Structure 1
Amino acid sequence: MATPKNRHPAHDGLRERWVRTLLAVRRPEADLPADTPSPYAYADDLLARWAEPHRRYHTTDHLIAVLDRVGLLSAHCSGPGEVAAVSLAAWFHDAVHLPDRSANEERSARLAERALAEAGASPALAAEVARLVRLTAGHDPAPGDTGGEVLCDADLAVLAGSPQEYAAYAAAVREEYGFVPDEAFRTGRAEVLRHLLGLPSLYRTRYGREHWEHTARRNLATELELLSAGEGGGADGGASGATDGGEARSSGA
């Protein structure tokens, strides 16, 4: 559990935000087992995960940013139910994050399946949230997968920050993967950047394409130039095969 020493200033508000989202979609109280845990227990567990001391980029601030971007893009979803599923997926998408381990998205998806079923969500909702979480391993939702498009765009919106914001982001992720040697990190990251820049579009929602695409591509190209010159770390990855990477990996956008 997040302690008073490392508790985020938005901790209490986030707890209430989680509870509102869960209560809006879980089964009626009368249909739940008597020993169903309080919704706050799940909020506390998730917030403790996001506050783990080894995190530098994948922190509570990242959770807040993704939740806020999901709200910004919510009109792209098919309705309130899908917005809720995407919001829950945002809570879980980096809930398991061990930089020196692989398959963090898969572990996060399995956590979502277990926790949501126990918390009173329907099996269909738990499965959908887990599916959305798994999409963040490659950020490549199928055309028409509006929930997946919103979550992936929300997660990748950080690539469209100002030069100062992007540099701070890159530094934080590099610190998170500090155990990867510089040369290996630069090589793996450059491969990821080239993949991203080769995509027809980084973003799938109309808002993302109109507001983020140009700036994100400029940031990625600038970082690639720095990496090619032997400078800098990397915004979203590590050595190929050595880490899970950050928001974008060689397996997808």
Structure 2
Amino acid sequence: MAVVTSLVDEFRTAARQAGATADDADLTAAGQYLLSRWSEPQRHYHTVAHLSAVLHVVDLYAGLAPHPERVRLAAWMHDAVYDPRALGDANERDSAEFAEGLLATLGVPAATGAEVARLVGLTAGHATEEDDPDGELLCDADLAILASDEQAYADYTAAIRREYAHVPDDAFRDGRAQVLKALLELPSIYRLEPLRAAWEEKARANLTRELRGA
């Protein structure tokens, strides 16, 4: 319960920093509602633990982003809609639309809500334009798991497989291989220099090892 309370406090703070005018009760309710979405039964990797991990990275490197409160809100929203059976980038599109709508109800200025929605949309392909440090921080934080140690990486891949338990093994391997190749073909998995220096080599080693075993 303490972790949940802390997370809701963090959401409320980020929303206030982004200009939310709703009262504390409504902000608290919104944070609790978001946590309920992150706790849905179809989730095995995209859970509150993943949300917490992304927020932790954002907090560590907040000084690299001009609008860290927007990045934090985008972290909260980036998998708010998550259906493993959805096609393409439908989850990211729906999460972005959800984010803009929810933030509007909380009194966040429309331009800020639209920017948070844009950031959420970036997590579909983790490709950012030049000079987008907010987007780079969100994408790097979302992909931090790729640079974890071998056991944590194995736990991550197992959790992803459970989310896609409805997909036959051959089809899952083919689809997963496409994801891994797309990541390895990026000029750099991580955009922000400190994260790239710390994580790039390990992430590529993990991805390559998984691809070879796929």
What TM-score do you get using the length of structure 1 for normalisation? Answer: 0.80
Partner of 2:60: 72
Deviation readout 1:58-83 (Å, 9 max, x if unpaired): 000000000011112212212xxx10
Structure 1 residue ranges (4+ consecutive) displaced by more than 2 angstroms after TM superposition: none
Matched, 1:39 2:27: yes
User: Residue 78 of structure 2 contacts residue 120 of structure 2 at CA under 8 Å; is this kept in 1?
Assistant: yes
CA distance in 1, matches of 2:121, 2:47: 19
Match of 2:10 among 17, 23, 43: 17
SS at match of 1:212: helix
Partner of 1:52: 40
Answer with 9-18 or 45-54: which moved more: 9-18
Match of 1:129 among 92, 116, 126: 116
CA distance in 2, matches of 1:107, 1:37: 26
User: Residue 70 of structure 1 contacts residue 154 of structure 1 at CA under 8 Å; is this kept in 2?
Assistant: yes
Q: Kindly, what percent of the aligned residue pairs are identical? A: 48
Determine which structure has the larger helix proportion and give its number.
Answer: 2
Matches within 5 A, 1:145-164: 145-164=132-151
CA distance in 2, matches of 1:9, 1:49: 18
Match for 1:67: what amino acid? L
User: Residue 36 of structure 1 contacts residue 118 of structure 1 at CA under 8 Å; is this kept in 2?
Assistant: no
Q: Structure 1: where are the runs of 5+ without partners?
A: 1-7, 228-253
CA distance in 1, matches of 2:205, 2:61: 22
Partner of 2:91: 104
Match for 1:57: what amino acid? Y
Match for 1:189: what amino acid? R
Matched, 1:95 2:80: yes
Matched, 1:61 2:54: no
User: Residue 36 of structure 1 contacts residue 120 of structure 1 at CA under 8 Å; is this kept in 2?
Assistant: no
Q: Number of residue pairs matched? A: 212
Matched, 1:178 2:165: yes
User: Residue 26 of structure 1 contacts residue 119 of structure 1 at CA under 8 Å; is this kept in 2?
Assistant: no
Match of 1:193 among 180, 186, 192: 180
Change (3 A) 1:50 1:83: same
Over the aligned positions, Cα root-mean-square deviation in angstroms equals 1.6
CA distance in 1, matches of 2:19, 2:176: 40
State the structure with more CA Rg. 1
Matched, 1:85 2:44: no
Once the two structures are TM-superposed, the CA of residue 20 in structure 1 deviates from its matched residue by 1.3
Match for 1:155: what amino acid? D
User: Residue 12 of structure 2 contacts residue 24 of structure 2 at CA under 8 Å; is this kept in 1?
Assistant: no
CA distance in 1, matches of 2:16, 2:135: 22
